[in-house]
Every structure is written in C-alpha cells, then in structure tokens.
Amino acid sequence: MARFLKAGESQNQKNLNCHTSLQQNIQKMKQLFSYGLNKDFSMRTLKLRFNQKEACLFYYGSIVDGAIINLNIIKPLLENNGDSVGNIVSIENIEEVTDFETANENINSGKAILFVDGDKTAFAMDVADFQHRAVSKSENESTIKGPQDAFTESMNTNISLIRKQLHNSQLINEGIQIGERSKNEVNLIYIKDLVNNDILENVRSRLKEISTDSVRNIEVLEQYLEERPYSLVPTILYTEKPDKATSYLEDGFIVLLMDSSSACLVVPVTFWSFFHNPEDRYLRFFYANFTRALRLLCFYLTLMISASFVAIANFHSEMIPPDLLLAITASRERVPFPLIFEVLIMEIAFELIREAGLRIPNPLGPTIGIVGALILGQAAVEANIISPIIVIVVALSGLSSFALADLNINFTVRLMRFLFIIAAGVYGMLALTGAFLLFFMYTASIKSFGIPFFSPMSPHFISSEDTVFRKPIKKEIFRPSFLRPKDLQKKAKS
C-alpha cells in the first residue's frame, strides 16, 4: 500500500505546473533530472535580447544536435529582435509546455526546453538527433529485383522511406505513447481513406491496454500485442523492407513503427502474408508464380518430408519400390538405432549447425561448413550412426526451410516438423494425417485482429486473388475485402 501511495505522490509532483519564477523552474528541473549527477543533462542560461529577460535552456547533450541549438536557438535569441520566442528561433517545430510532466517527456524525446523568467509556459523545440545507422541494404529479407532499402533504427528515416514510395496526403502517422516509466512512442501508419475504422480502433485500444514499465522496441511490442503468446503460429508480420510495408499500406493494412527498431509490424495479417515474398510482386507473372510454386513445395518438404519418410519406411514400406527398399534396408543394416531416432538425431544436428552458423563470429564462418558437411554428414555415416538416406532427407528438409523467408513462419514449420516426425513414428500415416489435419484446423481457427487466418481463400472474400498464386498485375482489381477497406476497388481498371 505504501508503495502505491508513494507512486501517487511522485505522480503529483511530476504533474506540477511550471512556475512563473525562473529560479523556481530551474531548481525543479535540476531536481527532476538530477543535474550534476547526470552528466549529459545540460543547462544553459542566457539573456534574451528582445525582452531583456533571463532564460534557461535544458536538453540532453547526447541526443540533440548541438550545432542546431547554437545556430538556430541560442544565436537568434542573443542577437535578434522580435515579439516572441516563436518568432525569433528558427526551429521547425515549437510546442508550448505548461507542466513538468510534459517537459520531462519532451526532453527525453530529444527536445530542448526553454524557460523564460516571468513566463508560465516553456517552449519545447525539436532538436533531436538520435544516433542511428545509415539506410542500408536489407540483409534478412534479400531480393534480387526490387528496392533494396531497409528500415533503420531511426523513426524519421523510416517514415521518410515509406513516404518516398507512397505520395499520399492521406497517409497518416499517428503517435501513441506506451510504457509507464520509459514512455516510448508507437507510430501507427495507415492510409486514412482506406483503413477500416474498427480494425484501427482495435489496434489502438490493444496498444493502449499494454501496461508495462517500458516497451523498448517493435520486437518487444510484437509480443505484447500478440493474442496467443503460446501459439506456434504468428499473427503479426514483421518486416524490415519499406517497400513491403508500403504495399501493405496500399491495401489498407496498418503498419506500426517504433524508434530504435529497424523493422515494422504489419497488422492484421493472414497466412498468405507469411507465405509471400515482396519479390513475387516485382517479377513477371510466370516467374513469380514459379517461385511461389517452389515455395509451396518447400513448405511441404520442410514440414513433411522427414515425417513422411519415417511413416512410409516404418509402416508402409510396401509403397517403396522393391529395388529402392532393398537399397535403403542395405544401407541401414549396420545402423543400431530405430529409424525415427536416426531422423531426430540428424534434424537436431541440422538445427545446431543452423543456430551455430548464425552466432559464429565471421572469421570462423567456414568452420561451420566443415563441421556440418564433413563431420555430421560423412563421418556420421561412416561411423554407422546414421544411414546415408537420412542425410539426404534431412538436408532436403533443412534446405527447403530457408525458402520460407519470414522468420516467424520459418520457426513455425521447423518446430511443427518435430511434432509431425513423432506423430509419424507413433502411428504412421494415420497419426501423421491426423496431426496435420489438427494443425491445419488450428491454423484455420486463428484470427489476427478479427481476420480469419486463411482468408481470403476460406472463408472466401473478394480480393486481388493473390493467395497461393497471383494473377497478372493488371488484373488485380480489388483490395482484400476481409479488411473491409473504405475503398474496395483499386483504380487500376476503369
């Protein structure tokens, strides 16, 4: 109880309005930001030329652009004449602040606050310059054809990357503050005359419901926003490509951005969003559908090939042609383990190589190839721990998993694969079919922000029919109607 009371008190203190006296304000600010202890908190007093009053400027030296402060705030204030502060400083964005709470937030988000003696309102001026990396190539979602830009950790850069592709005054960037101690801003981006208001309101209220001390970045936000944290199936799309985000915006989806994340979230999504790749849209009709067909095959191979092999070899061996069956049996002759055990060993080994390959420092990179190929492949076979055919099967399933570019869906299939292998090992095709059916039905029952996961295929909705395969781009007339956009028809066809 005492804790809560205390929290309430400090809340009251923060909400205090600014004083008229500059000295009181300075004192309060010093106390709030632990001036002196906090090395990068800067304070600069000056005498304004236009009204001959004392003033004081506060900011965090580490997150503002010093040159801008000097040139556009301090210099004009010291030298120029005018009627008010707003007229004198040459800063894009000036906000009037009347309480310490807002002042606190503003300083934290990289603004400078100017208190003037005898004035109850202070001025917040945007001089933020958070350090970030330059716009670089997308590394995790690489495409051959199409724009290569990737989001960076700076929100302004990210929005500019989106606006670069979408010249539309209806593109809205709405900020919502979340977090109790560290207030971070989530930016909701949508096209106002397309997006469905119910879905937008749903996203907004879900964001506002998040009650936690801080949400650092979009990756953490994704987990707070998720409806089913224990589910294997993702319901939010995570992408680092502005062009992909823009194409979703154009269809009436909502994009979430946060500072300090080099990616964005797209909501609501369907299964097909995870299955697609931005390149599919840039390639010509047949080329794109060819890669889609390949990806579909990869989807099956990753999920099922090991399990199917276990089921067929263990329970339905009559299916394998006799010559092949003899070859397989001969190669397994000296292996002491049951087949399912062999497959599991190899699958886990492959996952190990994959995880290690990801974390290994660059100079040691080639080692992983040697370890993987030689030791696990060759030597394990020669040592009769596994049979050669298993290496083929597992390599195929592992390789295919890389074709599913989206990290989330990639994990889904990689994890489900193990369940299927075990199901196949228990009762052959009967259990495997049952497990697959249940997985499928579970996925069909999932909703992402109220949108059924397999729409627009089932339940059927009008859409551009860009699901498993896509149509020629000129024939894509409609936006996905499961989003209930305000304007269903793309203006492609008159």
Partner 1 sequence: MQNNGFLRTKEIIAITLILIGIKLSDSTPTLLAQKAQNGFWSIPILSFVCIFPGFLIMLYLLNKYQDKNVVELFEAINGKWIGKILGIVLFLCAFLSLTLDSRNYIEQIKLLYFPQSPTDMIYFIFIAVVFFGAKKGIEVIGYTCWIAIPFIKVSALCVLLLVMSEIVIQRIFPIFGAGLPIILSEGVKKASIFAELFFLLIAYQSAKKNTMFRKGITFGTVLAILEIILFYLVYASVFDYNSIEKIAFPYHDITQFISFGEFFTNIETIFMVFWLFAAFLKFIIFIYITTWIFAEIFAIRNFEPLLLPFSFLVIMIGLLPMNSATNELVLRETLLTVMSPIFILLPYILWLTAWGKGDLKQ
Amino acid at 18: C
Shortest separation between residue 218's beta carbon and partner 1, angstroms: 30
Among 458, 475, 489, 493, binds partner 1 (CB under 8 A): 458
Q: What is the DSSP letter of 318?
A: G
**Could you please report the per-residue DSSP string of 343-411?**
HHHHHHHHHHHHHHHHHS-GGGHHHHHIIIIIIIIIIHHHTTSS-HHHHHHHHHHHHHHTTS--HHHHH
Query: SS3 of 104, please?
Result: helix
Binding flag, residue 272, partner 1 (CB under 8 A):
no
Tracing tokens 């909502």 back to the chain, one arrives at 254
**β pairing state of 264-267 and 254-258:** antiparallel
Residues 67, 64: Cα–Cα separation, whole Å: 9
Q: Is 472 exposed, middle or buried (0-12, 13-18, 19+ CB in 10 A)?
A: exposed
For the chain, the first-to-last Cα distance in angstroms comes to: 66
Q: Which stretch binds partner 1 (CB under 8 A): 13-21, 227-235, 239-247, 310-318?
A: 310-318
* Closest CA relative to residue 431, chosen from 334, 321, 314, 271: 314
Shortest separation between residue 430's beta carbon and partner 1, angstroms: 6
Residue length of the chain: 494
Q: Which stretch binds partner 1 (CB under 8 A): 64-72, 293-301, 311-319, 405-413?
A: 311-319
Number of separate helices (H) and strands (E) present in the chain = 19, 12
Binding flag, residue 360, partner 1 (CB under 8 A):
no
Q: Residue count at the site for partner 1 (CB under 8 A)?
A: 27
Binding flag, residue 441, partner 1 (CB under 8 A):
yes
Query: SS3 of 105, please?
Result: helix
Binding flag, residue 457, partner 1 (CB under 8 A):
yes
Binding flag, residue 321, partner 1 (CB under 8 A):
yes
Among 123, 275, 315, 478, binds partner 1 (CB under 8 A): 315
Shortest separation between residue 418's beta carbon and partner 1, angstroms: 19
Shortest separation between residue 231's beta carbon and partner 1, angstroms: 14
Among 294, 379, 392, 438, binds partner 1 (CB under 8 A): 438
Binding flag, residue 350, partner 1 (CB under 8 A):
no
* Closest CA relative to residue 401, chosen from 354, 443, 439, 445: 354
Binding flag, residue 297, partner 1 (CB under 8 A):
no
Taking the least distance from each CB to partner 1, the nearer of 402 and 442 is: 442
Binding flag, residue 469, partner 1 (CB under 8 A):
no
- Give the helix, strand, coil percentages of the chain, each rounded to 5: 50, 15, 35
Q: Which stretch binds partner 1 (CB under 8 A): 15-23, 153-161, 338-346, 457-465?
A: 457-465
Binding flag, residue 319, partner 1 (CB under 8 A):
yes
* Closest CA relative to residue 269, chosen from 140, 442, 449, 405: 449
Residues 81, 86: Cα–Cα separation, whole Å: 12
- Mark 396-435 with x for binding to partner 1 (rule: CB under 8 A) and - for no binding: -------------------------------xxxxx-xxx
Q: Which stretch binds partner 1 (CB under 8 A): 104-112, 260-268, 413-421, 449-457?
A: 449-457
Binding flag, residue 230, partner 1 (CB under 8 A):
no
Q: Which stretch binds partner 1 (CB under 8 A): 45-53, 316-324, 343-351, 402-410?
A: 316-324
Shortest separation between residue 444's beta carbon and partner 1, angstroms: 5
Binding flag, residue 156, partner 1 (CB under 8 A):
no
Shortest separation between residue 474's beta carbon and partner 1, angstroms: 26
Contact predicate 267/449, CB 8 Å: yes
Residues that bind partner 1 (CB under 8 A): 312, 315-316, 318-319, 321, 427-431, 433-435, 437-438, 440-442, 444-445, 452, 454, 457-460
